[in-house]
Amino acid sequence: MSTNQALFERAQRVIPGGVNSPVRAFRAVGGTPRFIARAEGAYLWDAEGQRYIDYIGSWGPMILGHGHPAVLDAVQRAAREGLSFGAPTEREIELAEAIIAHVPAIEQVRLVSSGTEAGMSAIRLARGATGRNRIIKFEGCYHGHADALLVKAGSGLATFGHPTSAGVPAEVVQHTLVLEYNHIEQLEAAFARHGQELACVMIEPIAGNMNFVRASVPFMRRVRELCTQHGALLVFDEVMTGFRVALGGAQSIYARAIAGFRPDISVFGKVIGGGMPLAAFGTSREIMKHLAPLGPVYQAGTLSGNPVATACGLATLREIAKPGFFDALSERTRSLVEGLSAAARAAGVPFSADSEGGMFGFFFLPQLPQDYGTVMTSDKERFNRFFHAMLGRGIYLAPALYEAGFVSAAHTAADIESTIAAARESLAA
């Protein structure tokens, strides 16, 4: 038995499914998950010493690659000063200032420990600030596993064929309206019917939990107009896209296309922690004043603003804010996507792909899908064969076709080249 197999069997005895987050279990693609022993730069090594080029990057946070010296140094120094105090620290201010400096839509942030917590708290704040209960979310968008948001939530759930989790009472999601992504008429109908009861519309601006699907500019423009008209807050879940698709997040991209565009509340995670548990939600002072201890909307956390996590996040943000960082990362990611597309064309395989900054997605479909229903028509068997053929050649892609991929600043042109060469062989197989 292989070491990975032995570890997986041992893990399954003491951890449900052998994993602490479902998609790691390889259920969608079959086979044995690789147990990772260490990582450096663009590479992971599993328990058997096999090396992989990493296109998961811990599902987004590792934008600098693994073990960046400035990040390691900041974390080690912070750890020596103390792991947790449960009292305010200067570094929390510095991180809040750094986030706000890059995101003009927000004046204040609250730091938390996971994207789930940030998304859940953003909804509570939106409801508390508007005095309304209903929320709109879109099919295929994932906003963490808080009860009210765990309906038709893409990747992890899609993998298991359950649109919605068991253990969530119907009463808890009765205020959650789920609409199709990029469907303007549905959106207008929902606002016509429920506009006065809507606390917020929550959206992944580039949906990374159904692989990679952009909200169209006309759709986003209409979302913004309707929210403003009806007094509902627009919540941008940028846990994945924030500081990943651009320094100013996906909202900076929509702001270029739509004059004066801004979301009301922004939610961040993943990259802002640089690999440590850290997330945040932010908005105007006016809305934030509803949050405890200033206002009646309660929100708290023992490890919120943790000194080691903030050191890691700050060091990461400093690196990605350097001039030219995103140009280089975007260029590298684009070269991967173009190479994969060319390999598919040569093999006569229907294929479409897209990228923004250091985030990408690809489908075994002739055209990029606009919604979850179309994503689900992507050829799953072909994806699974491709995934395993790539893994066998030392390329670690996300183990489900509903997931976005990530390129880091540590990926070299040679890494991209060898990935494309592996894809040529894998698509021919």
Ligand X SMILES: *Cc1c(COP(=O)(O)O)cnc(C)c1O
Q: Which residues bind ligand X (CB under 6 A)?
A: 114-116, 119, 142-144, 204, 208-209, 237, 239-240, 269, 279
Cβ nearer to ligand X, comparing 209 with 352: 209
Cβ nearer to ligand X, comparing 22 with 295: 22
d(CA 349, CA 357) in angstroms, rounded, equals 26
Task: State the sign of the Cα–Cα–Cα–Cα dihedral 21, 27, 29, 35.
Answer: positive
Judge whether 270 counts as a catalytic residue: yes
Among the options 46, 54, 237, 264, which is catalytic? 237
Helix (H), strand (E) counts: the chain: 15, 16
**What's phi and psi for 417, nearest 5 deg?**
-55, -45
Cβ nearer to ligand X, comparing 153 with 427: 153
| Bridge pairing between strands 198-203 and 176-179 | unpaired
Task: Write down the least CB distance from residue 119 to ligand X, Å.
Answer: 5
Cβ nearer to ligand X, comparing 287 with 404: 404
Cβ nearer to ligand X, comparing 178 with 239: 239
- Neighbour tally for 104: CB within 10 Å: 12
Among the options 52, 270, 371, 415, which is catalytic? 270
Contacts of 41 (CB under 8 A, 6+ apart): 65, 66, 67, 408, 410
By beta carbon distance, the residue nearest ligand X is 115
Judge whether 264 counts as a catalytic residue: no
| Bridge pairing between strands 51-54 and 43-46 | antiparallel
| Bridge pairing between strands 405-406 and 395-396 | unpaired
Cβ nearer to ligand X, comparing 237 with 354: 237
List strands edge to edge, sheet with 233-238. Answer: 108-112, 279-283, 265-268, 233-238, 198-203, 134-138, 176-179
Task: Write down the least CB distance from residue 281 to ligand X, Å.
Answer: 11
Q: Is 172 exposed, middle or buried (0-12, 13-18, 19+ CB in 10 A)?
A: middle
Task: Write down the least CB distance from residue 339 to ligand X, Å.
Answer: 25
H/E run at residue 217:
helix 217-230
Task: Write down the least CB distance from residue 428 to ligand X, Å.
Answer: 33
User: Which residue type does 112 have?
Assistant: V
- Neighbour tally for 364: CB within 10 Å: 19
Judge whether 237 counts as a catalytic residue: yes
Task: Write down the least CB distance from residue 404 to ligand X, Å.
Answer: 8
Task: Write down the least CB distance from residue 274 to ligand X, Å.
Answer: 13
Q: In this structure, what token pair is assigned to residue 275?
A: 């690999």
Cβ nearer to ligand X, comparing 279 with 427: 279
Task: Write down the least CB distance from residue 146 to ligand X, Å.
Answer: 9
Q: In this structure, what token pair is assigned to residue 175?
A: 């205020």
Among the options 43, 52, 55, 142, which is catalytic? 142
Q: In this structure, what token pair is assigned to residue 378?
A: 């992507």
Q: Which residues are part of the catalytic machinery?
A: 142, 237, 270
